[in-house]
Structure 1
């Protein structure tokens, strides 16, 4: 399934197109299959960028750092003993919590996923910038050279890149539409 977004993302589960987005037909299991994880997270990110809603449910494998995902649409139900994680995700989620904007030769990122600890980044080092942009489409870490792997590690430390067993994807959404009031983000 493709959508009119910056990147072409394949959805790892079947979905029904709704008036304002998508409703997933199957539960998603985050943390079980790395390639499926990064494809799904890229799908959520691109839908968020295009202001499309996503209704999904599923489960999360133990040890999966869901706090890094609080800027993406939360599940409507989360199976297992993660009711606190679902409540925190639902409470924290809002449009514009973690986004990027592109300029000539740089990317500006604003990250407010942790309340009271907003971070801003300017990615203008060529290697950091190229890895950030490369991983907008899910990428295997094995395809990166040594310098790119170091850049990926730095981006992952700041939760700007998701790395699950060598599968990488960029997390911040592209800010395409500014909310009203615009100072809300």
Structure 2
């Protein structure tokens, strides 16, 4: 396997190898390891089959998790959207857009043109979480979550139902602010991305 240091890949070199990622949609527990492997080996990820959103909550959660983790690790993910997108563009515009669409290509074109790195992110510190949301077609905001609420936020990242009433209240607030998506009665997805490394230059992030 050929790997490259950051910035080493040039016009005279072969493109990155591609790692199939379809199995992550049925086994989301491997998403973190899969994306870590792609990043470490300078590989791209690819969904071989078109992916549909809105048909099955578990598949939605897995695909959104894969998109979120790939974006956070700055790993390129090639995928094709199948069917209609069930949410407004602003909800997902910060996630890696599809390369093409099996149908509704106009929506995908808008997604591609509107997407920018770092449009909806969070960072964690000692006893705080800071969310920055600058997605288009809606309010720009910074949300500071402190103390025990910061811990509650981290427990929501795995998509499982909140165990405490206070955590449920936090999730309801995030959903109301379009910072989380309810996928089913017991499944949700937290939308902001945690960038594990910053691009250079990063002035616009």
TM-score range, shorter chain: 0.7 to 0.9
CA contact (8 A) 1:74 1:89 kept: yes
Asked if residue 11 in structure 1 is aligned to residue 30 in structure 2, the reply is: no
TM-score, scaled to structure 1 = 0.80
Which 5+ residue runs of structure 2 have no aligned equivalent? 1-22, 28-33
In the alignment, which residue of structure 2 is the partner of 1:134? Answer: 155
The answer to whether 1:109 aligns with 2:128 is no
Could you tell which deviates more after superposition, 145-154 or 66-75?
A: 145-154
2:195 corresponding residue in structure 1: 175
* Alignment map for 1:47-126 (pairs within 5 Å): 47-61=70-84, 63-80=86-103, 82-114=104-136, 117-124=139-146, 126=148
RMSD: 2.5
Instruction: Compute the TM-score of the two structures, normalised by the length of structure 2.
Output: 0.73
For residues 170 and 202 of structure 2, the distance between their equivalents in structure 1, rounded to whole angstroms, comes to 32
Q: Note the C-alpha offset of 1:110.
A: 0.8
1:144 aligns with 2:163: yes
**Superposed CA offset, 1:127-148 (max 9, x none):** 4x33431232232x3x533332
**May I ask how many residue pairs the two structures share in their alignment?**
171
Rounded Cα–Cα distance in structure 2 between residues aligned with 1:116 and 1:157? 13
Deviation of the 1:56 alpha carbon: 0.4
Tell me which residue corresponds to 1:28: 51
The verdict on how the C-alpha distance between 1:51 and 1:72 changes in structure 2, with shifts beyond 3 A counting, is same
Q: Is the 8 A contact 2:53 2:86 kept in 1?
A: no
CA shift for structure 1 position 60: 4.3
User: 1:73: how far off?
Assistant: 0.5
CA distance in structure 2 between the partners assigned to 1:65 and 1:11 by the alignment: 25
Larger Rg: 2
